[in-house]
Amino acid sequence: MSTTNQHLFRRTTTTLSDGRELIYFDDSATPPRREAADLRGLTAVEHGGELRWDARVGQWVALAAHRSGRPHLPGDGDNPLAPTRAGRSTEIPADDYDVVVFENRFPSFAGLPGDETVLDGEPLWPRRPAAGRCEVLCFSPDPAASLGDLGPSRMRTVIEAWADRTRELARLAGVAQVFCFENRGAEVGVTLPHPHGQIYAYPFLPPDTVAVLEQSRRHRATTGRNLLDDLLAAELRSGRRIVAEGEHWVAYVPAAARWPVELEIAPRRHVPDLCALTDSERAELAEFYPGLLRRLDRFFTGADGAPLPLPYVSAWHQAPVHVGRDEFRLHLRLFSVRRAADKIKYLAGSESAMGVWITDTTPEAIADRLRELAP
């Protein structure tokens, strides 16, 4: 390893038997990877997903009926994200790995952009292929591990993989935004418990990004300043919901948090995406983020007093590829559906039908609890 903040790692690209790309990201201290071919003899899958325009709210909806056949909570012997062993081939041909990324066999978005047509001859219903790309990122070969368990060197390799894939996917034709995220826990719908995240290359701007950009433009027109910069500055001035601070990163509970547990992590410096982070910012994040995940895993305790691993969705919000890059600011938003040790928050009619959120706690109470858990 270098004595500076630069992280050395090995990147090896190969293909699976059906033509999908797979990339190993190995820590510099590991030995050279042995060549390992995918011997499963898979045939290429025709996905045929499509996008349909919901004119009522002005949003694209992705139809991906082929995903109904994807693995669902397989047993230990059928874990597709484990390394390949004698007599058991998986999505990862090697018998060991550090961090690995591969194209999802059951993607929501895949392929190149195509022509737009209309459904049933009605111009109110535009439709087009669900172009783009979906990838799976495995954080560890250990099925019992978690992202919070990773040491700084391995976490840094994960960060390098996020940045690498953001850079490469942003170059694909038709990609509007790259989204790196992790779903963790059966309570948020995870169907493969092995520690992993996903990366989506969207062919359109998602509704959340559209809303942020619209608000940012209004704020700019009114004040001449950047909205997301001003929000971070306001949280720092208040200090009431700040959970942790480093030289380069700040963690806080947003003033209008919606979920029973919610946390935002942002760099102090204005950067558009993960690719733009400096070596020093990446090095600090590799310790800062797992430390916060370990706190979150102690947020709730069971009847026996033991910590309950927190189910969560952790989402990197990055600037769009082509528009709004000066207005958008890199940040991570993590939230959990668990509202008590034995209770889950389900979206009721107000949230799911009307988009009006009603929370069962306060952002200040969430921040107080997370500060209590500081090592």
Q: Tell me the pTM.
A: 0.95
Is the CB of residue 131 less than 8 Å from the CB of residue 203? yes
pLDDT in tens, the chain (375 residues): 333 578 888 999 999 999 999 999 998 776 666 678 998 999 987 777 999 999 999 999 999 887 766 666 676 678 999 999 988 999 999 999 999 999 999 999 999 999 999 999 999 999 999 999 999 999 999 999 999 999 999 999 999 999 999 999 999 999 999 999 999 999 999 989 999 999 999 999 999 999 999 999 999 999 999 999 999 999 999 999 999 999 999 999 999 999 999 999 999 999 999 999 999 999 999 999 999 999 999 999 999 999 999 999 999 999 999 999 999 999 999 999 999 999 999 999 999 999 999 999 999 999 999 999 998
Catalytic hit among 7, 194, 196, 219: 196
CB atoms within 10 A of CB 21: 14
pLDDT per residue over 108-122, tens digit each? 999 999 999 999 999
In degrees, rounded to 5, the angle at the alpha carbon of residue 147 between the alpha carbons of residues 141 and 153 is 80
* Domain 9-204 shares a fold with domain 208-372: yes
Judged on CB neighbours under 10 Å (0-12, 13-18, 19+), 105 is: buried
Instruction: Note the pLDDT of residue 73.
Output: 64
Domain 9-204 coded CATH 3.30.428.10: yes
Listed in sequence order, the residues at least 6 apart from 325 whose beta carbon sits closer than 8 Å to its beta carbon are 272, 319
Instruction: Note the pLDDT of residue 69.
Output: 66
What kind of fold does domain 208-372 have according to CATH? HIT family, subunit A (3.30.428)
Instruction: Note the pLDDT of residue 66.
Output: 77
Is 7 marked active-site? no
Is the CB of residue 188 less than 8 Å from the CB of residue 337? yes
Q: What percent of the chain has pLDDT over 70?
A: 95
Instruction: Note the pLDDT of residue 3.
Output: 37
* Domain spans in the chain, listed from the N-terminal domain onward: 9-204, 208-372
How far apart (Å, rounded) are the C-alpha atoms in residues 137 and 329?
Answer: 23
Is the CB of residue 310 less than 8 Å from the CB of residue 281? no
**Average pLDDT score over the chain:** 94
Is the CB of residue 181 less than 8 Å from the CB of residue 192? no
pLDDT per residue over 129-167, tens digit each? 999 999 999 999 999 999 999 999 999 999 999 999 999
